[in-house]
């Protein structure tokens, strides 16, 4: 029984989502191998070999893998899938894109967004926006899984000394092509890995106010900035900052929700945070039902005051 983890990386380094996935893979029992598929990703493969608990790194390098196109990455995974009992992807945009393709080609059910491994064939996963936890058992020969990264601790990034084995990259499918990428520039901690998140909602009123009010607080706390769907739809914040059922799922040490009412879909993305603070002027806002500390106040006065008091 051996597990294969598909690494999330930027060619130079390994993203933390991979470390959480390695922990989940170890919980399935047996050896853990990591696949690093990319172009010029030697440094990432070397970094993967350092992860504690990894027995082997498989490095596939080629132009077809440069932009992580689902067709090519899935083919790369399938080329070595025969050796594994479990194939795990982090539940990120990239992982969710490729994993079901692999599962369907293997004719197995995929298990999405697991939060716990009960046994090598039994997993827990949230359904209905996190309002219920299902325990599911798979009878398939290969378990294809995506891992909710906030459900598992990160494996140590150093301390391992796995061998790196090189395999040939698959040929390009020719059916899809990468055109371009618009990356949101940010020097803040990554939302899904941040220890503290300050999140703003519709009550901020405009993009200028959003930046003006939330940025100083984030700077003071060294926090990542998140947003509710209402704030994103209104154009106050870019959409990759959305926290919720269909955005990012986060579980920081401290989550400060300012001007967010707390719809079911938003709570689904943040209710596993250790400490939740809500700042809202509506005493009936549902966010207060999950907040450890609630402050009933106008955020335009409370947030600047908070920045001063810190």
**Minimum distance between the CB of residue 176 and other proteins, rounded to whole angstroms?**
4
CA distance 214 to 199: 8
Q: Does 214 bind other proteins (CB under 8 A)?
A: no
Contact with other proteins (CB under 8 A): which of 47, 81, 103, 114? 103
**Minimum distance between the CB of residue 164 and other proteins, rounded to whole angstroms?**
26
Q: What is the contact mask toward other proteins in residues 54 to 73, using x (rule: CB under 8 A)?
A: -------------x-xxx--
**Minimum distance between the CB of residue 28 and other proteins, rounded to whole angstroms?**
16
The DSSP secondary-structure symbol of 304 reads H
Residue partners of 116: CB distance under 8 A and separation at least 6 = 123, 124, 151
**Minimum distance between the CB of residue 117 and other proteins, rounded to whole angstroms?**
14
Binding to other proteins, residues 260-299 (CB under 8 A): 264-265, 271, 274-277, 288, 290-297
Binding to other proteins, residues 10-39 (CB under 8 A): none
Residue partners of 185: CB distance under 8 A and separation at least 6 = none
Nearer to other proteins, 171 or 264 (CB): 264
Nearer to other proteins, 165 or 219 (CB): 219
In the chain, the N- to C-terminal Cα span, in Å, equals: 51
Contact with other proteins (CB under 8 A): which of 3, 18, 92, 228? 92
CA distance 225 to 218: 7
Binding to other proteins, residues 110-129 (CB under 8 A): 110-113, 122, 126-129
Q: Is 2 helix (H, G, I), strand (E, B) or coil?
A: strand
**Minimum distance between the CB of residue 96 and other proteins, rounded to whole angstroms?**
5
Q: Is 291 helix (H, G, I), strand (E, B) or coil?
A: coil
Contact with other proteins (CB under 8 A): which of 73, 101, 147, 151? 101
The DSSP secondary-structure symbol of 290 reads T
The DSSP secondary-structure symbol of 140 reads S
Main-chain dihedrals φ then ψ at residue 214, nearest 5 degrees: -80, -35
């Amino acid at each position: 029984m051996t597990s294969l983890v598909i690494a999330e990386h930027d060619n130079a380094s390994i993203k933390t989502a991979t470390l959480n996935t390695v922990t989940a893979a170890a919980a399935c029992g047996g050896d853990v191998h990591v696949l690093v598929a990319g172009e010029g990703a030697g440094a990432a493969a070397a970094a993967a070999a350092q992860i504690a608990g990894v027995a082997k790194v498989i490095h596939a390098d080629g132009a077809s893998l440069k932009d992580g196109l689902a067709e090519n990455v899935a083919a790369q995974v399938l080329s070595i899938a025969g050796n594994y009992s479990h194939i795990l992807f982090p539940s990120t945009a990239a992982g969710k894109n490729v994993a079901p393709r692999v599962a369907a080609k293997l004719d197995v059910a995929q298990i999405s967004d697991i939060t716990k491994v009960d046994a090598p064939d039994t997993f827990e996963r949230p359904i209905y926006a996190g309002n219920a936890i299902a325990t599911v058992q798979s009878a398939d020969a290969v378990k294809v899984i995506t891992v909710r990264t906030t459900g598992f601790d990160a494996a140590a990034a150093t301390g391992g000394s796995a061998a790196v084995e090189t395999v040939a990259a698959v040929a390009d499918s020719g059916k899809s092509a990468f055109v371009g990428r618009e990356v949101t520039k940010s020097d803040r901690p990554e939302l899904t890995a941040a220890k503290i998140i300050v999140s703003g909602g519709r009550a901020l009123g405009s993009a200028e106010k959003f930046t003006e009010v939330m940025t100083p607080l984030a700077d003071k706390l060294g926090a990542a900035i998140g947003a509710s769907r209402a704030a994103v739809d209104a154009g106050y914040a870019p959409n990759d900052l959305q926290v919720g059922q269909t955005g990012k799922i986060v579980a920081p040490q401290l989550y400060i929700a300012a001007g967010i009412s707390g719809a079911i879909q938003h709570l689904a993305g943040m209710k596993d945070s250790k400490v939740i603070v809500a700042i809202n002027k509506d005493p009936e806002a549902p966010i207060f039902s999950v907040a450890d500390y609630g402050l009933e106040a106008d955020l335009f006065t409370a947030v600047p005051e908070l920045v001063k008091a810190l």
